Chains A and B, each alone.
Chain A
Amino acid sequence: MDTFGNLMQGFAIALTPINLMWCLVGVAVGTAIGVLPGLGPALTIALLLPITTKVDPTAAFILFAGIYYGAMYGGSTTSILLNTPGESASIVTSLEGNKMARRGRAGAALATAAIGSFVAGTIGTIGITFVAEPVVNFALKFGPAEYFSLMILCFITVSAVLGNSAVRGLTALFVGMFLGMIGVDNQSGQLRFTFGIVELYDGINVIVVAVGLFAIGETLWLAAMPKEKEEEPLAIKDSIMMSREDWRRSWKPWIRGALIGFPIGAMPAGGAEIPTFLSYSIEKKLSEKPEEFGHGAIEGVAGPEAANNASAAGVLVPMLALGLPTSATAAVMLSAFQSYGINPGPQLLSTNGALIWGLIASLYIGNVMLLVLNLPLVGLWVKMLKIPAPLMYGGILIFATIGTYGISRSVVDLILLYSIGVMGFFMRKYDFPTAPVIIGMILGPLAEMNFRQAMTISQGSFSIFFEKPLSLFLLMLTALALIGPPIWSYLRSRNRVAGA
């Protein structure tokens, strides 16, 4: 069947009242946690993972995807009104957005962010619709060797290329792979890294690690910071509308942002930081009024916010088409597939076509819902920013505890949760990225499985990874990603010395 027919079938699934309800719940929860500083989609989806035992996969993924998209919308509200970005990809939005709010143009900033998110989110979803199938058709030719090499490339890009330091990113990745190995090895039945603790035989649940790092670690960190007077969200003095001038200055940055964000998000490296910064600098160059940048230029909100949402959509392409998670949130969603016993990978689209197309259709619907939730109803979310910190973090800990304790009613899980929280605290202190831990934990065992299958095919010879052209190409890309940046910066610093 053609893509359009598939999509129409997806809409038939997504438009049933029960799935519309899940979508609405998802985007509302997503917006809420996006608005609240310190909460993110990875943490929220992890806490909700146990519902996979109660509802059918389509409903669960519509809910999760709604949370994922909603958090992107909500994050921009916080970064415009509070100047403390809820999630890292919103940092750029706060550069100009907060300045606009200080000049009494909060309404226009919120409007261009929300409409830009809608435009880019929809372009991104159209991208998923048409790119997913070709990617799948290409990936169906992959054998275990190609898969293993692709995963190695993904490991290197998410931990070594993104972020401040390759060494610290890779350290975090290896810690995550260690956590992923704990428990019974599926192939040999041997116990690994259980240290004699019975509760570890089934492995560590990804809920424990995600909630520990993102909820407990974050709470410990914020408690340790010196207490300043709480920042009040800026009042919205103007109406939530854009003037004709605002529209004229916004629409091109929206489109450009979406066209930058989607492809970068869809690459095996993922990440929203690069496209948002890229969009910001492009808009600054192209603006008719570059002097306004730094004082609240609307293009500086419209472009990066669009890039952010389009890259979030892009991340779903490798996740759905290849089973390759390139962000912490995608890794948690991938573990939801596993808990349904669904094998993520290129065969997903043919074996679970209804699920995937229903999910894609619900992304279109969710975007429309989010536009309504974030434009006329934005005042509702702003009220959430007035929750005092003592009550909010107390509440976060209650939900983190019940979500973890509820898995198996074991205090061992809680001890692990709090210990991983302490680890998260020190990772924050010494500037280690946390996403590679989650990605290593989920993707590590999958990489091992492909490695074993490839070695069985090749009868124990490593040459299989270098003899298959595509596998060799992916490994060469990996090497380039690993050694390219240091060589580049070395050459640049040498040139600078030579030039001086």
Chain B
Amino acid sequence: MSLRPALPETCVGLFMVGFAAVVGAATAAIPDSAYARVGPAVIPWAITAGLVFFGLLLAIQGLRGGWDHERDTQFDLRSLAWLGAGLILNLLLIDGVRFGETTLVPRVGFILSSTVMFFCTARAFGSERPIRDGLIGFTLAIVAYVGFDRVLGYQIGSGLIERFL
């Protein structure tokens, strides 16, 4: 067994211990109930304990050389940036962003924000045909909207394009 510590795996373990601390703090905040024999905090404490225990085990495994996983693959950061941009733009645009009374980002609705997301995703997967991607994304978003909002009866809400459908 290699005894050279593996930094990423150790960090994963420590991250889990940190996460367990957050869960533990949230558990401590659960008020106890006098009615139930097993209060609402009992299982959450067990979960906290489990997370601490396995987080520590992961960290120890990390210090003892880590475990087998995708180590060597170089991530395509440009692709991830495009995809991340698509997801974040979708979050901002779908419902707009308001701060008190002022509108920081206007609400454009599902169809246009999804078209933007589709466009960015296609870029992330190496497409170099922006016009095709935009058109297909737009069409697919309309199909999804009509299918879910009109046929299945979900409430997707209105937007710049939705109001004309």
Binding site for B on A (CB under 8 A): 50-51, 54, 164-165, 167-168, 170-171, 174-175, 177-178, 181, 185, 187-193, 195, 216, 219-220, 222-227, 388-391, 393-395, 397-399, 401-403, 405-406, 409, 411, 414-415, 418, 421, 426, 428-431, 444, 448, 451-452, 455-456, 459-460
Contacts and interface: CB of A to CB of B under 8 A. Distances in A.
B155 A174 contact: no
B63 interface: no
B71 to A, nearest CB: 9
Contact of B40 (A185, A227, A409, A426): A185
B101 interface: no
Contacts of B44: 181, 192-193
A480 B133 CA distance: 55
Contact of A390 (B61, B80, B91, B122): B122
A167 B26 CA distance: 24
A178 B23 contact: yes
B21 interface: no
Contacts of B144: 398-399, 402
Given A178-B47, A402-B148, A224 B76 contact: yes
Given A190-B40, A388-B127, A170 B50 contact: yes
A54 B80 contact: no
A195 B27 CA distance: 10
Nearest to A224: B75
A336 to B, nearest CB: 15
Contacts of A452: 36-38
23 contacts: A50-B152, A50-B154, A165-B67, A167-B58, A168-B58, A174-B51, A188-B36, A191-B30, A224-B76, A225-B73, A227-B79, A390-B124, A394-B117, A394-B122, A397-B114, A397-B118, A398-B140, A401-B117, A409-B95, A415-B91, A430-B8, A444-B43, A456-B38
Contacts of A460: 37
A482 B82 CA distance: 43
Could you tell me the dominant secondary structure of chain B's interface residues?
Answer: helix
Contacts, number: 196
Contacts of A455: 37-38
Contact of A431 (B33, B54, B67): B67
A362 B89 CA distance: 43
Interface in B11-69: 12, 16, 23, 26-27, 30-31, 33, 35-41, 43-44, 47, 50-51, 54-55, 57-58, 61, 67-69
B108 interface: no
Nearest to A193: B26
Contact of B80 (A224, A388, A398, A411): A224
A456 B118 contact: no
Could you tell me the dominant secondary structure of chain A's interface residues?
Answer: helix
Contacts of B54: 167, 170-171, 174
B125 A393 contact: yes
A409 B80 contact: no
Contacts of B79: 223-224, 227
A220 B43 CA distance: 33
Contact of B125 (A188, A223, A406): A223
Most B CB within 10 A of own CB, among A220, A224, A451, A455: A224
Most B CB within 10 A of own CB, among A175, A389, A397, A444: A397
Contacts of B137: 394, 398
Contact of A406 (B9, B95, B148): B148
B156 A391 contact: no
